[in-house]
Amino acid sequence: MNGFDLIGTVLQDAFWSGLAALGFAILFNVPRHLLAACVVFGALGHAFRTLLTSFGMGIEPATLVAAALVGLTGHTGGSVSTFPRDFHEYRENSQWAGSLCPTRKDRGLSGAPLTPANDGPLLY
């Protein structure tokens, strides 16, 4: 495999793995302002693993090294981000501060919990 094929393979892998990471982030209700970081870190980790395996490293050690890379870069980014503090400050100032999932009863409606089916997505 020449250099151009390798670059094309890694970029294609990064694109599809970033898309998969976005899907998982949406599935697990990651806040919108953090979705881009999920895409970047997912693409970075999987592309790095593909690069390592193309140089002959086994899949298991390549996965370990790529996961360590994502973990360290995520930890570094987490020390810069203020997401947990902002989220908890918002929750404390919210009208539903005491509950994790506000119900329709909290809003003066029937007792059914908020779901996308009856009230649309609940975004914190």
Using a pLDDT cut of 70, give the percent of the chain over it. Answer: 60
CB 46 within 8 A of CB 66: yes
Q: Record the tokens describing residue 118, joined without a space.
A: 């009856």
Domain that holds residue 27: 3-119
Report if residue 124 sits inside a domain: no
Residue 8 pLDDT > 70:
yes
Domain count, the chain: 1
Q: To the nearest 10°, the Cα dihedral for 115, 116, 117, 118?
A: 60
Amino acid symbol at 74: G
3-state DSSP call for residue 112?
coil
Chain centroid to Cα 67, Å, comes to 14
Axis-axis angle for helices 35-54, 3-27 (nearest 10): 140
Identify whether 38 is part of a domain: yes
Residue 105 placed within a domain:
yes
Which has the minimum average pLDDT: 9-18, 40-49, 72-81, 105-114?
Answer: 105-114
Closest CA to 7 of 67, 51, 49, 42: 51
In this predicted model, what pLDDT tens digit does every residue of 84-112 receive, in sequence order?
Answer: 555 555 555 555 445 555 544 555 555 55
Average pLDDT taken over every residue of the chain: 76
How many CB atoms are closer than 10 A to CB 37?
Answer: 18
- Window from 4-8, 24-28, 103-107 with minimum mean pLDDT: 103-107
Task: Note the pTM of the prediction, 2 decimals.
Answer: 0.61
**Residue 107 and residue 102: Cα distance in Å, rounded?**
8
